[in-house]
């Protein structure tokens, strides 16, 4: 059977695989896209928004290998380690080593402290709201200035000026 190139976007996407989504507001609150992506992926396997525990652990622990996370998120080993370090530092990600149920070799499990995640998220966005109230973003200030200047220019009536100049040249 000969290979034929996909014709529709649906066919292209089905050949690529499954999308990984993350919450941009969570990423901002936890230190960037890397920690946000890693956290959202662990939340997905924990049960996330729909409450279905994909990890099947009643205490919320999830096992994902480095290669599985790479395959699911395209995060390299360094990106994963940096993200994990940031999430542990703010108390959101818990880690433990324990035997894998099928291979019995020691593997790394993850769990999200949901109360701490909520606390960090709320504190971050409360602080952001306070900062925005005190000083608007520079680009917003610049945009307002441009709008005000534009209004002022529109309200100025056109002017015409007639001048005469007399010159004498001596040689």
User: b/e map of 80-90 (b: 16 or more CB within 10 Å)?
Assistant: bebbbebbeeb
| CA dist., res. 90 & res. 6, Å (int) | 45
Residue 155 lies in a domain: no
pLDDT attached to residue 151: 46
Nearest to 110 by CA among 165, 57, 42, 54: 42
Paired with 107 in beta bridges are 98
Do 61 and 107 form a contact (C-beta atoms < 8 A)? no
Residue 99 lies in a domain: yes
Owning domain of residue 100 = 9-137
Residue 26 lies in a domain: yes
Residue 94 lies in a domain: yes
Do 60 and 109 form a contact (C-beta atoms < 8 A)? no
Residue 153 lies in a domain: no
The alpha carbon of residue 13 and the mean position of all alpha carbons in its chain are separated, in whole angstroms, by 22
- The CATH number for 58's domain is 1.10.10
| Total structural domains within the chain | 1
Q: What's this model's pTM, rounded to 2 decimal places? A: 0.67
Residue 115 lies in a domain: yes
Low-confidence ranges of the chain (pLDDT < 70): 1-6, 48-56, 131-171
Residue 162 lies in a domain: no
Task: State pLDDT tens for residues 91-114.
Answer: 999 999 999 888 889 999 999 999
Residue 143 lies in a domain: no
């Amino acid at each position: 059977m000969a290979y034929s190139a996909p014709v529709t976007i649906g066919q292209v996407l089905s050949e690529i695989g499954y999308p990984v989504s993350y919450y941009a507001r969570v990423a901002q609150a936890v230190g960037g896209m890397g920690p946000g992506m890693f956290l959202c992926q662990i939340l997905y396997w924990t049960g996330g928004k729909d409450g279905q525990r994909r990890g099947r652990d009643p205490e919320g622990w999830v096992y994902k290998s480095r290669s599985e996370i790479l395959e699911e998120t395209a995060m390299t080993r360094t990106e994963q380690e940096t993200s994990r370090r940031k999430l542990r530092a703010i108390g959101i990600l818990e880690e433990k080593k324990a035997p894998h149920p099928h291979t019995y070799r020691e593997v790394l499990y993850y769990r999200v402290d949901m109360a701490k995640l909520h606390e960090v998220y709320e504190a971050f966005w409360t602080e952001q709201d306070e900062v925005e109230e005190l000083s608007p973003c520079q680009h917003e200030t610049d945009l307002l200035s441009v709008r005000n200047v534009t209004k002022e220019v529109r309200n100025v009536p056109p002017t015409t000026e007639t001048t005469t100049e007399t010159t004498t040249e001596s040689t």
